[in-house]
Structure 1
């Protein structure tokens, strides 16, 4: 009967009409067979939950009925053929390649980074706080460079966590966006100088008529 709960779903609790109102029967009002089935439904859910790895357990809803719970677990467990070492390698690689996505807000960036660290912590891949903080700041786009420098000067990377760093940066997000807009509106000074150097000499607006025979005529 426990297996039936997993494969076909739990007992559909019968109803009863009382004072013109239809309600679901209480456990005490069930028949003997129905009570056994209800008990088996609960046992099936408990058996599934007790056998789950910690990382999978944190991703499921323990209040689901056995059939729905098992289907969710089955989906999550499809990737468990990977060894722990392979999973760690993938997570380290993802951490190493983690970077800001163009157009992404600071808050969204922070949430993605938080999930990355959470996934690593599940496998007890704990890193030095200094390393985590440095990665969080150095992966931000150039518009944050001034504020990142400020943070590095005033914050202790060995004791602060990236949650505090994000809270500080969030206070200056409006200014950082303004800096980004200003940079987009104005040409890069180096590119401007290079462009001027490529201009043919006879178009030089600063060349005087004294040095130009054609203009002297």
Structure 2
């Protein structure tokens, strides 16, 4: 071992590796910053490194622990209160339900498939009650094999 690195690795090779690493950091910063809208980029312009920029974005949009817990509570409440909106189509209900499930998964809320399927069937419009009852009776809602896609196909 020498002061410049391992004895068998030439100094030029170490410098080249450092250059490649710096280039990768610059690319990462460029990719992240290009994806930001101008108003968000303006608030984060003091960040000059990719890691700092990423950490600032996580803090800004994910928030601290209290904010995360509050978001989890809000999403759980939204799931519990989820229902059909008068005048909206069943397709829009399915889209809202899927978006809600995606948001819940993104913050770490994982519900049992049977609970999700039952909630979906219970949130269908009143005129769909006979169809929902038929689906509940003909489909075993307690198995993990009953996926929402199959349920969506039965509903539509």
Assess same fold via TM > 0.5.
Answer: yes
Q: How many angstroms apart in 2 are the aligned matches of 1:163 and 1:84?
A: 29
Q: What are the superposed Cα offsets for residues 4-27 of structure 1, whole Å, 9 maximum, x if unpaired?
A: xxxxxxxxxxxxxxxxxxxxxxxx
Residue 84 (structure 1) aligns with: 68
8 A contact 2:97–2:120 mirrored in 1: yes
Residue 106 (structure 2) aligns with: 122
8 A contact 1:100–1:139 mirrored in 2: yes
**Of the two, which has the highest radius of gyration?**
1
| Structure 1 position 162 matched with structure 2 position 155 | no
Q: How many angstroms apart in 1 are the aligned matches of 2:139 and 2:82?
A: 22
| 1:151 CA displacement | 0.4
| 1:87 CA displacement | 1.4
Question: How many residue pairs were aligned?
Answer: 117
Q: What are the superposed Cα offsets for residues 14-69 of structure 1, whole Å, 9 maximum, x if unpaired?
A: xxxxxxxxxxxxxxxxxxxxxxxxx99744224xx4xxxxxxxxxxxxxx726637
Q: Which of residues 30, 52, 77 is equivalent to 1:45? A: 30
Greater relative CO (CA pairs within 8 A, separation 6+): 2
- Report the 3-state secondary structure (helix = DSSP H, G, I; strand = E; otherwise coil) of the residue aligned with 1:140: coil
| 1:84 CA displacement | 2.2
Q: What are the superposed Cα offsets for residues 65-101 of structure 1, whole Å, 9 maximum, x if unpaired?
A: 2663782797993562443221111110010111100
After superposition, the Cα gap between the structure-2 partners of 1:160 and 1:83, relative to the gap in structure 1 and judged at 3 Å, is same
Q: What are the superposed Cα offsets for residues 81-129 of structure 1, whole Å, 9 maximum, x if unpaired?
A: 4432211111100101111001111111000000100011012211111
Q: How many angstroms apart in 1 are the aligned matches of 2:39 and 2:84?
A: 36
- Report the 3-state secondary structure (helix = DSSP H, G, I; strand = E; otherwise coil) of the residue aligned with 1:130: helix
Residue 93 (structure 1) aligns with: 77
Please tell me the root mean square deviation across aligned C-alpha atoms, in Å: 3.1
8 A contact 1:41–1:66 mirrored in 2: no
TM-score for the superposition, normalised by structure 1: 0.46
